[in-house]
């Protein structure tokens, strides 16, 4: 197995979990079904997205003929698709019998957390301060 990373970025914990579970599922599928000699995992950071690709040179399959998810076949690709979709992303499977398999999972990166706590404006200074900041005096008080 080979791992590559293109770019840099930061995913939140929930996104990291979805990506980890996706790679675990996909590599388990490679080990169990693909009869592959090689698998490549690629992590790519984009401006507003992160994607992971798992590509193998195994026996391939027809993605349109997946068995439905049930207790006998685990979560597999249908479960992966559900998890990724629930996180606002997409999962794309490309495969053909005899040609290996490529799966792309792409998630939108959550915007950075913005502090939306209420603020008090002191009309005398025309500036805003956090409503309950322990590091600042109350409006109108002097030290």
**Domain CATH number, residue 45:** 3.30.565.10
Residue 134 lies in a domain: no
* Number of separate domains in the chain: 1
Cβ contacts of 79 within 8 Å, gap of 6 or more: 25, 69
Q: Give one word for 29, left, alpha or beta, with left for phi > 0 and alpha for psi -120 to 50.
A: alpha
Residues with pLDDT less than 70, the chain: 67-75, 111-143
pLDDT at 120: 56
Residue 129 lies in a domain: no
Residue 29 lies in a domain: yes
Residue 6 lies in a domain: yes
**Residue numbers of the domain that contains 52:** 2-108
Residue 116 lies in a domain: no
Residue 127 lies in a domain: no
pLDDT at 135: 47
pLDDT at 94: 97
Q: Is the Cα torsion angle 73, 107, 20, 102 positive or negative in sign?
A: positive
Q: Where are the beta strands (DSSP E) in 7-132?
A: 39-45, 49-56, 90-95, 101-108, 119-122, 127-130
Residue 140 lies in a domain: no
Residue 24 lies in a domain: yes
């Amino acid at each position: 197995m080979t791992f590559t990373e293109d770019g840099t970025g930061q995913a939140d914990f929930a996104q990291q979990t979805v990506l980890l579970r996706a790679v675990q599922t996909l590599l388990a599928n490679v080990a169990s079904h693909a009869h592959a000699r090689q698998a490549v995992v690629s992590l790519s950071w984009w401006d507003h997205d992160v994607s992971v690709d798992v590509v193998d040179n195994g026996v391939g399959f027809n993605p349109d003929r997946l068995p439905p998810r049930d207790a006998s076949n685990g979560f597999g690709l249908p479960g992966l698709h559900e998890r990724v979709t629930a996180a606002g992303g997409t999962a794309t499977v490309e495969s053909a019998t005899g040609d290996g398999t490529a799966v792309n999972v792409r998630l939108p990166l959550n915007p950075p957390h913005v502090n939306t706590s209420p603020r008090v404006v002191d009309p005398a200074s025309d500036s805003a301060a956090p409503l309950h900041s322990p590091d600042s005096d109350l409006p109108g008080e002097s030290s």
